[in-house]
Chains A and B, each alone.
Chain A
Amino acid sequence: DTGVSQDPRHKITKRGQNVTFRCDPISEHNRLYWYRQTLGQGPEFLTYFQNEAQLEKSRLLSDRFSAERPKGSFSTLEIQRTEQGDSAMYLCASSSPPGQGEYGYTFGSGTRLTVV
């Protein structure tokens, strides 16, 4: 499988618990993005990595959220002290820069988080 893979597909957690999601991008892509999507909304940008460097974070990414991409390959998104408002689909996407290889964004299937 050469697509973007995310794990787990579904996560149910109790309020206050910590959760961590993983994203494995397409191996040739050096850019990796995290988005969050709630019901009836389009995906909202959270953060972006180029290789291992986290270049931008949205104001949506509160102090309880942290993302890493330590070796420039897979990435993790951790949410500490989860709240019910964190319930959403968390989407990962990867891309290559314009002009380098096939330009485009490929999304993973997402991790659906439910905080109860």
Chain B
Amino acid sequence: RKEVEQDPGPFNVPEGATVAFNCTYSNSASQSFFWYRQDCRKEPKLLMSVYSSGNEDGRFTAQLNRASQYISLLIRDSKLSDSATYLCVVARYSGGGADGLTFGKGTHLIIQP
């Protein structure tokens, strides 16, 4: 089983729609979770961290279910500029603290006018 699994898509969604991405992770000891956004031929950029209580940032909502080892991202009122690849990311930990990130393959989102 891969450490972080995502549906690669592509998701073709009309502008203004709501879209949800899911991700599962295999290491139950994982402690920090993130969603990154990556535009074509660019570096990944942090979209938001994911907290157990769920968190929201404008049109974006992230949820974490530790029991099911499942992370989600919801985008409401999608914009053309939301078109990108969304990477589910789990922090890797050693005894000294975080020592890097494990990425899913990414989910490709295309917002259509």
Q: Which of A35, A42, A109 contacts B42 (CB 8 A)?
A: A109
Number of interface residues of B (CB under 8 A): 22
Question: When each residue 74-99 of chain A gets 1 if its CB lies under 8 Å from chain B and 0 otherwise, what string results?
Answer: 00000000000000000101010110
Number of interface residues of A (CB under 8 A): 25
CA distance in complex: A15, B64 (Å) = 45
CA distance in complex: A93, B96 (Å) = 18
Question: When each residue 83-113 of chain B gets 1 if its CB lies under 8 Å from chain A and 0 otherwise, what string results?
Answer: 0000100001010111111111110000000
From B104, which residue of chain A is reached at the shortest CB distance?
A: A42
Q: Is A21 an interface residue (CB 8 A)?
A: no
Tell me how many residue pairs across A and B have CB atoms closer than 8 Å: 52
CA distance in complex: A107, B39 (Å) = 13
Distance from B28 Cβ to chain A, minimum over Cβ atoms (Å): 19
Interface majority SS on A: helix, strand, loop or mixed? Answer: strand
CA distance in complex: A107, B38 (Å) = 11
Interface majority SS on B: helix, strand, loop or mixed? Answer: strand
CA distance in complex: A42, B46 (Å) = 14
Taking CB atoms, residues of chain B closer than 8 Å to A48 are: 99-100
Q: Is A41 an interface residue (CB 8 A)?
A: yes
Which residues of B approach A to under 8 Å, CB–CB?
4, 8, 41-46, 87, 92, 94, 96-106
Which residues of A approach B to under 8 Å, CB–CB?
31, 33, 35, 40-45, 48, 50, 55-56, 91, 93, 95, 97-98, 104-105, 107-110, 112
